Amino acid sequence: MQKSLSIDPGKCTGCLQCEMACSLENEGVFNTAKSRIKVFTFHEEGKFVPYTCTQCDEAWCMHACPVDAIVVNAATGSKDVISDLCVGCKVCTIACPFGTVNYNADSGKVVKCDLCGGDPQCVDACPTDAITYVDANATGLDKMRQWAEKTDNTVGS
């Protein structure tokens, strides 16, 4: 059974430990600007919503890539960017309707969540269990999936 990130914004306090852990794991620095998971702040509502790639089945980023630089990780189901092959054209960043593939000008390549290869560091870092790594069926990812389907041109293909 493949697992997914499950996010419960109700539990998020906006402490940004997930962003710190992500940037340390993936970029080797504590710099929330480099995190692949991002906590969005809603001042008026007083809420925080962590958000990152849902590893959606449609994988627009992967299909749009002109050089086959995004592949499915057979072990985790995540869609991974093969940095050596990425030319930095950014087409995946506009193809992803969730806005979760982003360009990193320093490396000239794109970055996205790869579930840390099956041991997501944001989950370990979150002190309130707002982010958990659970069986894919139990994540309440349905809403994201519905959104994904609405955007899909090729439903049924």
Partner 1 sequence: MIYLVVGSGPAGVVAAERLRKLDPLANISLIGSEPEPPYSRMAIPYYLTDKIQEHGTYLRKTAMHFEKLNIQLVQQTVTSIDTEFNRLITDDGETRRYDKLLLATGSRPVVPPVPGIDAPGVHNCWTLEDAREIIKLAKPGASVVLMGAGFIGCIVLESLALRDVRLTVVEMENRMVPRMMNDISGNMIKRWCEEKGVSVHTSTRAESIEALDAGKLRVNMSNGQSVDADLVISATGVKPNIEYLAESGVYTDQGIVVNDYLQTSNEDIYAAGDVCQGKDFNTGEYTVQAIQPTAVEHARVAAANMVRGHRTEHVGNLNMNVLDTIGLVSASFGQWMGVPGGDSAELVNEKEYKYLNLQFKDDVLVGGSSLGLTQHVGVIRGLIQSETKLGSWKERLQKDPLKVMEAYLACSQSQVATA
Ligand X SMILES: Cc1cc2nc3c(=O)[nH]c(=O)nc-3n(C[C@H](O)[C@H](O)[C@H](O)COP(=O)(O)OP(=O)(O)OC[C@H]3O[C@@H](n4cnc5c(N)ncnc54)[C@H](O)[C@@H]3O)c2cc1C
Contact yes or no for 55/4 (Cβ under 8 A): yes
Q: Is 26 helix (H, G, I), strand (E, B) or coil?
A: helix
Closest of 106, 14, 2, 92 to residue 51, by C-alpha: 14
**110 backbone dihedrals φ, ψ, rounded to 5°:** -100, 160
**Which of 15, 24, 49, 91 touches ligand X (CB under 6 A)?**
91
**Which of 49, 90, 104, 124 touches ligand SF4 (CB under 6 A)?**
90
Please tell me what DSSP assigns to residue 10. G
Query: Least Å distance between CB 90 and ligand X?
Result: 8
Choose the binding region for ligand SF4 from 28-36, 88-96, 126-134, 142-150 (rule: CB under 6 A). Answer: 88-96
**Which of 33, 87, 138, 155 touches ligand SF4 (CB under 6 A)?**
87
Measure CA of the first residue to CA of the last residue in the chain; give whole Å: 24
Choose the binding region for ligand SF4 from 36-44, 81-89, 125-133, 141-149 (rule: CB under 6 A). Answer: 81-89
Helix (H) or strand (E) holding 20: helix 17-27
In angstroms, what is the C-alpha Rg of the chain?
15
**Which of 5, 70, 122, 144 touches ligand SF4 (CB under 6 A)?**
70
Q: Which residues bind partner 1 (CB under 8 A)?
A: 9, 38, 40, 42, 45-47, 49, 51, 60, 63-64, 66-68, 85, 87-91, 93-103, 105, 108, 143-144, 147, 150-151, 153-157
Q: Which residues bind ligand X (CB under 6 A)?
A: 89, 91
